[in-house]
Structure formats: C-alpha cells, structure tokens
Amino acid sequence: MKEFNYVITDPEGIHARPAGLFVKAAAAFPCNVTIGKDGKDVDAKRILGVMSLGVKQGMEVTIKCDGDQEDEAAAELEKFLKENL
Amino acid sequence: MELTGKSVFGGIAIGNLSLYRKNDNVVKRVKVDDPEHEINRFEEAKETAKQQLGQLYDKAMKEVGEANAAVFEVHQMMLDDLDYIESVQNMIRSQGINAEFAVATTGDNFSEMFAAMDDDYMRARAADVKDISNRVVSVLQGGEDGGFDSDEPVIIIADDLAPSETVQLDKSKVLSFVTRGGSTNSHTAILARTMNIPALIGVDFDDEINGKFAIVDGFAGKLIVEPDADVLAVYQKKQNEEREKQRLLLELKGKENVTLDGTKINLYANIGGVGDVADVLKNDAGGIGLFRSEFLYLESNDYPTEEDQFKAYRTVAENMAGKKVIIRTLDIGADKQVDYFQMEKEENPALGYRAIRICLDRVEVFKTQLRAIYRASYYGKISIMYPMIISVDEVHRIKEIVAEVKKELDDQGVPYGEVETGIMVETPAAVLMSEELAKEVDFFSIGTNDLTQYTLACDRQNAKLDGINDPHHPAVLRAIEMTIKNGHKGGAWVGICGELGADTTLTETFLRMGVDELSVSPSRILAVRDKIRSIDLSK
C-alpha cells in the first residue's frame, strides 16, 4: 500500500468542481483509493463521500492507494492535488 | 405591504410577481413484486437524467459561462456516485419498493447530510443533491418540468431555485429573484449576480402575493407588494437613475475626458473620508481634487493626533496608487463647529474666525496636520491646498510654517515626497488678487459655494435667500473666468471643486474659460465625462 499526506492550499477547499475532477482521476486506476481527514477515510472514487469530508484550506488529507498500479495511482494523485488543490 | 430580506445583488426591479411552480413530484411509497424491474427503471431514468444534464451544461455554457455551467458536470458525477446508486438499489431490494420512493428518500438523506455540515458552501450543496433526485423522479414519472407562466418579464418568487431550474428559465422574462430560502452562495444568488439583476433571499412571503404588482429594492433588501402611487413614482425615478448610471459605467469607464475637438481636462473626485475612495475608483476618477480633512476633527472628541491623521492620509494616497490626492487643510468655523476648539460665539461666523484664519492663529494645530500630510506624501502623490485665502501675505506665512515643518522632518530623518501647493479661491479678495497669488502657488481650486455667497453677499445658510443665492449669477461666472485667466498668467493651473463643477449646464462655459480640472462628487464623474465628450469647442 502507498500512502501520502497533502495540505490543501486552495482557498475554497475541496469544493464540488475539484472534488469531481479528483474522483475522476482516482477512478482511472484499478486499485482501491481512499481519502481521509482526521482518521475518517472515504472511497476516493465516490464524489458525495469526498465532498462530505468538508475539506477546507489548510487541512491535511491522507491518500491511500492499495492494489494494482498503486504506485502509479499515488504518483498521479499527488501530482493532481499539487496542481489543482 | 413591505417585506424584508437579505439582498444578494443591488438594483431596482418593478413588475408582477410570479410564483415558480416546482416540479414537486408527490412520491408515494408503493410495494412492488419485481424489485429488479424497478432497478432497471432507475438505471434507465438515471441515464436519461444524465443526458438532460449534458444538455443543460451546453445551454449554461452559452448563457452564463463555464464557471456557472460546471455544476451540471458535477451533477452528472453525483448521479454516478456509487454511494448514491447503492443506496437506491438497496432500498428497492431490501424493502421491495418503487424506484421513485427509493430515489426521493436517498436524495433526502444525502441532502440532510450536507445541510448538517458546518460550512456555508457545503450546506448550499444540499440543494444540488435534492435537485438531481427530483430530476430522476421526474423522469420516472414521465412528468413535466416546473416553471412559471408569463409572456412578459416578471419577478420570480420561489422557495429556492435549484441550478437546473435557474438555467431552464427564460432569462429575458426574469426581472428579479425573491426566495424564501437560499444563501449568498446559492445558485440563485450567483445567477442574479451574473445576470446583473436584483435578488433577495430569506424573504418570508405568502403564496397569495403571486400575480400582484411589486417592487424589489435590492439596495435596501425590500420587497414592496402593491405599492401606492407615490412609492412607485420614487422607485421609477430611482430605477431610471440606476439605468442611466449603468449605461454611463458601461460606456464611459476607462474613456478619456476629452472634447470632440480634442481638448483634455482632468476630472477628479471630492471626498469627505477614507471610506469614499472605493466610490472614487469605481467611478473612474483621475484623482482626488478635494479631500476634506474636517472629518478627522468632526468625528473626534479631541484634537486628532498626528498619527491618526497620517494613517488616514496615507491610506487614501496608497489606495489611489500614484494618482493625485489634493488634501484641503482644516476648514472649520462658520457652519462647521467643533466643541473642543472652544471658539467664541460670533455675530457673523461666515465672515469670522474660520479655516486658515484659525490655522495661522493656532499654529500648533496647523503644524500637526502639516506634519501628517507631509509624512503621508512619501506614500503617494499628495498636494495640499489652503482654504479661505484673502492675501499674498497669508500664503507667505503658510510657507514659513511649512518650511519649519519640513526642517523638523529633515532633522528627524523622516521621509516625505514632492508636494504641490495650492489655494482655494473662494473669496472676492482672492479673485481680485489672483494674478499675484498665482505666482506663489502651483494651482488654484475655485470653491464655488463660498465664492457665490461672498460675491453676492448672500448667506448660504438662509433658506429665504435661495432665489437670490444664484451660482449662475454673471458676477460669479465673471469671477471664475477672471481667476482662470489670472491663474494661467501667473503660471498656476486652475480647477473648480465646488458644486458648480458638476453642473453640466456650465461644463461648456468652463471649458471655454480654459479650466484645467473639475472636481465633483464620485457619483457625478461619469455624467460630467459624458458631457465633456459631447462638447465641440471649435464651433
């Protein structure tokens, strides 16, 4: 399993639009992907769950990738977060 | 009847109210024999709903832009969300119920989850989840969309409008939105701002007002139902003024103050405090031609400190970012009294102890202000002008005091910038001495209110004299002309900062006299610019 942390810098946090893009990016990989905040993990391939975390600017999220192509998934999602959030 | 709410966008709308009919499908819980059939119906309805959302996305892209259209893409993804789909499927299978009920209940559950979040933005998303669920239910029931019936533009009243509803609206038929619910982040609010129309939220109206004639005041947050004729007349006037303002803003912002034959002048704004700067910038003034410093003294219970004054001047200079800011030194006395100055009661205050006369008598008060202004001049382009001047001797005394202030600053190593010096020309004495005075200063600014009162020997506070106190009197206009000619002869530029500067019936007269600058209240800038651009001095 691959795991990394990221602190959200976008002033609006993970709002609807980027949540959608993030979910799309996660869904492109076969492995399981979760995104978590304060110990609560949700499936990163489900937009309502990701939005329900209510992640705001300055908060740290933890991404876990487990299964096929977990290395690629982790690298790609980290890149996505840095560029968009 | 007058109702209040929270305004999300200013403006005035006048028209009939029209209640938005929700496609509020009544969903009954029905036991079914074949749950798998219901799941198929759900799947098909979901696909149809996604197609509709795709079309809405395209429509929104064209009408309100990508940023507002993105919501429909997100809606499509929500419909594909596995939590959502699984919830609907589980409910159908475990309870053996119809697809409509499962979708509606799932929508309610997710919507409640968002509504409970401690974040305004996310709370507003509760409406999105409800919206997609309603869409699917609508498709399942083969139902029609909601909407409103009207051939002419109306004020839409509704509980709240979902994004899909706002996009489907025929925008040419909408004058304003008034909703019971909603937030400043809601789609209705965003759309109102995009469409530039007034909108109110949180208005507790009764459905009975549907169809009635009403006014929306987006400035005061009011909905006035069936206004009487007087109120209506006031608002019609306000609406026309607002339209005119909008027209000027659109047409004239960023344009030069130049006549048809190519004569350019400066158009500056008059302000009475730091808070007015936003209006100055919004109305595109080229600078501040009169910064009345009295507010610092009038709003205070004791002499304002050098630091307080410095902060105010510096803020204005910095906000104007290199554009000229002309600060007028203390102009109290006469109609403006300040308790802590402890001035004696006078028989004729307008002709008495006021403005520069106080400053040259109470030099320490004057020096405090001069120090503050010079210190602020390091942070922008500041000029100073002195009010109520009647003689060259006064200007000499001012210069001596300024020299002392500058020397003190130099000794203390405090930086200051280049400061232009000017005087107000508002007494007949200054007009008559204008040729000599012009050699002493960089500019004149004609204060037409006092110049009128002193030239016509006519008390401007006395309402009985309104008919006589005429700023268009030829004597006043001649005094202005003389000041401009003599100012130029002595090498000073000449502006007008009194009320008359904004009088567009005289703009051409002033331009022909050769005026270099007009300084008017911020709200008049564009109207005067409009006038300047219509004048041809070669004819």
Determine the distance in angstroms separating the CA of B113 from the nearest CA of chain A, rounded to an integer. 8
Determine contact: A58 vs chain B, CB below 8 A.
no
CB pairs under 8 A between A and B: 49
How does strand A32-37 pair with strand A40-43?
Answer: antiparallel
pLDDT at B377 over 90: yes
Determine the distance in angstroms separating the CA of A1 from the nearest CA of chain B, rounded to an integer. 23
- Residue contact A54–B119, C-beta within 8 A: yes
- Residue contact A47–B129, C-beta within 8 A: no
Determine contact: A20 vs chain B, CB below 8 A.
yes
Mean pLDDT across the stretch A45-63?
87
Residues forming a β-bridge with B12: B217
**B contacts of A26 (beta carbons < 8 Å):** none
Of A12, A43, A46, the CB nearest to B121: A12
- Residue contact B81–A43, C-beta within 8 A: no
Average pLDDT, chain B: 89
Residue in A4, A6, A10, A15 annotated catalytic: A15
* Nearest by Cα to B405 from B429, B452, B371: B371
Band (pLDDT 50/70/90 cuts) for residue B491 is very high
Please tell me the predicted confidence (pLDDT) of residue B144: 57
Kind plus residue range of the DSSP H or E element containing B4: strand B2-4
Residue B348, sorted as left (phi over 0), alpha (psi -120 to 50) or beta, turns out to be beta
The residue ranking higher by pLDDT, A20 or B376, is B376
Q: What letter would DSSP give residue B467?
A: T
Determine the distance in angstroms separating the CA of A9 from the nearest CA of chain B, rounded to an integer. 17
pLDDT at B104 over 70: yes
DSSP line for chain A:
-EEEEEE---TT-S-HHHHHHHHHHHHTSSSEEEEEETTEEEETT-HHHHHHT---TT-EEEEEEESTTHHHHHHHHHHHHHHH-
Band (pLDDT 50/70/90 cuts) for residue B334 is low
- Residue contact A52–B73, C-beta within 8 A: no
Band (pLDDT 50/70/90 cuts) for residue B146 is low
Distance CA B282, CA B304 (A): 29
CB atoms within 10 A of CB B118: 8
Please tell me the predicted confidence (pLDDT) of residue B25: 64
Please tell me the predicted confidence (pLDDT) of residue B350: 87
**B contacts of A17 (beta carbons < 8 Å):** 70, 73-74
pLDDT at B56 over 70: yes
pLDDT at B60 over 90: no
* Phi, psi of B9, deg, nearest 5: -160, 135
pLDDT at B239 over 80: yes
Determine contact: A37 vs chain B, CB below 8 A.
no
Active centre residues of B (catalytic): 187, 497
ipTM given for this complex = 0.83
pLDDT tens per residue, range B23-46: 666 788 888 888 899 999 999 999
pLDDT tens per residue, range B162-175: 766 777 777 778 89
The count of residues in chain B is 539
pLDDT tens per residue, range A4-47: 999 988 877 887 778 888 888 898 899 999 999 888 889 988 88
Distance CA B461, CA B251 (A): 38
CA atoms within 13 A on the CB side of B23: 23
- Residue contact A54–B122, C-beta within 8 A: yes
Mean pLDDT across the stretch B184-211?
82
Of A20, A43, A48, the CB nearest to B110: A48
Cβ partners under 8 Å of residue B318, min gap 6: B379, B380
Strands (E), B114-182: 154-158, 174-179
Nearest CA in chain B to A46: B81
Band (pLDDT 50/70/90 cuts) for residue B429 is very high
Q: Find the chain B residues whose C-beta atoms sit closer than 8 A to any C-beta of A.
A: 70-71, 73-74, 77-78, 80-84, 110, 113-114, 117-119, 121-122, 125, 128-129
**B contacts of A22 (beta carbons < 8 Å):** none
Mean pLDDT across the stretch B328-347?
85
- Residue contact B125–A16, C-beta within 8 A: yes
* Nearest by Cα to B423 from B402, B401, B436, B438: B438
- Residue contact A52–B114, C-beta within 8 A: yes
- Residue contact B121–A15, C-beta within 8 A: yes
pLDDT at B208 over 90: no
pTM: 0.59
